[in-house]
Chains A and B, each alone.
Chain A
């Protein structure tokens, strides 16, 4: 009782100063700092990394696909599950959209985006359905579908590639378009981010995802539709991976059967680095998107800094480990603080 009272008192007397302190403590702030340091250091070595039309464009464009993927994966991780199949879903969708263009050359770009997102959602539904039926961790099912989707993609594509000339001109134009100097794909990613963040923060079913992730048994006892929400989070993850696949096709214009390989690690890494705790129940899609921006920038900065791009995965791994250790330390400290407060008279 006294704990709740104390919390209420504290909320009432929140000053601008402590709010500022809170903002500084947020994960997003430290990621932003790391991002700025990275960009400044790289720009110091090679100014064209930022100060050239191409450099500027890539700096904004590169994170777009990772952001969309990380947003989707964050939905699943918040419910204390994980989706390892997003890279394969993305590749399969990219190839699917390319093939659809070969079958229907006049397809409008909007249709391509809608069909791709829906197709990804369908693959996500398969994941979620299997997890719900088998009642096993999402990790086991999605490890399986990760290889099934990739295998299906390779089987379908063989050694063929889909080239830019086979896709619609308006589709490719969108992939390279800029509005007021900002790439259209980046704007799309930000719009998706804003909608997802609003949904998770304000809508009842979005809040329920956090409830399920923090205490699955309690959520079940409370009467939340746990299975439905889990299914929805996997559909969301698949749909975002599908959208990322369409964006990949629009941006690069060349799709081989290995498109999107390894992106699942980047997406999960981005979410975890951005403060979406792998133990579920906490984190935001904005944090996940910040994590994606940081990872995408590291990807493009490493070669400029003279580090071979092969090392990039090692950096991702080290960052994931660092982030989960930090999460754990913060959680333990928070718990201790709460206990100490309860002990006070």
Chain B
């Protein structure tokens, strides 16, 4: 009768195709395919090239931040300061460039600020032993406060054309923005890191059983700190992207982005208790939220409704996950009274 849902390893007694296709990730991918299909038929202009182009451009920041967030959540931590870090890096980039720092150098400095912010989160969590939620609630307020404090109500709108144009290029006539190449490279790096390295295996090990991982020689503190640094750095990258996309630096950029990222990661099959999840599900989760939003926008639904839907998706996916776990639990244990053995 533990309050925490029991985590299970993949059942290696099952045939390979079952292990690959009958998973949470595949369910989300199927749901994404269904959404795309229905929207293409039912929603006018959804199948247009421009829709895909805008969808990718809108979701790019969410996509790149969801990668480290998935890893952070697989270890059982959480980082709700990512939206504020996007805002902070956006206003820092604007201020640095406006004060005469060369743009390329400004971007590097902003990435370092992101890494430093992530390091602050990571050290407070691992060295002082504070819960990740508490720390990142604090830094969420701190980063956002600095971001809006530095800029106030002013905005910076002059950025180098060559860089802002970078977000506009399209690959041929495919409707895929050029920047997606960058995302695919990042995704490849994260897939390699998570699924093919010792480091990646230790991420799962920590999430499944932190004590056991430590006894098997996993450096928990180092691993978790690195993940927070990655989350901070990629949030800063998201902030840079946002600045280039809109050509504007403001302090309130990325407000509520943490919801979208966390919703997508949970929707994509990462357990909120850690230890479970894979990146293809996470990417599908982000794209599902993006596809639903753009389909709804085409039908004329406002941004607020989309926020409601994101919230409902977040709640729905965790409730559904728990229900599935409960049903499986009932099936494997037909007689709940016989727990004495």
Contacts and interface: CB of A to CB of B under 8 A. Distances in A.
Contacts of A55: none
* Interface range, A side: 35 or more
Given A143-B311, A217-B2, A269-B141, 10 more contacts: A130-B315, A135-B322, A136-B321, A137-B133, A144-B263, A144-B311, A151-B304, A152-B308, A216-B3, A316-B141
Interface in A131-174: 133-137, 139-141, 143-148, 150-152, 154-155
B319 A143 contact: no
A26 to B, nearest CB: 21
Nearest to A80: B131
B211 to A, nearest CB: 15
A317 B133 contact: no
Contacts of A15: none
Interface in A306-324: 308, 310-318, 320-321, 324
A147 B259 contact: yes
* Interface range, B side: 35 or more
Interface in A41-78: none
Nearest to B148: A310
A311 B149 contact: yes
A321 B133 contact: no
Given A139-B78, A220-B3, A310-B145, A144 B135 contact: no
Interface of A: 82, 130, 133-137, 139-141, 143-148, 150-152, 154-155, 216-217, 220, 226, 265, 268-269, 272, 278-279, 308, 310-318, 320-321, 324-325, 328
A336 to B, nearest CB: 14
A151 B260 CA distance: 14
Contacts of B140: 265, 317
Interface string B69-109: 00000000010100000000000000000000000000000
Nearest to B316: A144
A313 B2 contact: no
B138 A321 contact: yes
A314 B141 contact: yes
Contacts of A136: 272-273, 318-319, 321-322
Interface string B104-139: 000000000000000000001000111101110111
Contacts of B142: 313-314, 317-318, 320-321
B141 A265 contact: yes
Contact of B152 (A148, A150, A308, A320): A308
A310 B147 CA distance: 9
Contacts of A325: 124, 128, 130
B318 A141 contact: yes
Nearest to A212: B3
Contacts of B133: 82, 137, 139, 278
A154 B304 contact: yes
Contact of B5 (A135, A220, A316): A135
A217 B130 contact: no
Interface string B243-267: 0000000010000101100110010
B1 interface: yes
A198 B64 CA distance: 49
Contact of A310 (B78, B80, B149, B273): B149
* A-B CB proximity, top 4 nearest: A314-B145, A317-B142, A317-B141, A313-B145
Contacts of A82: 133, 137
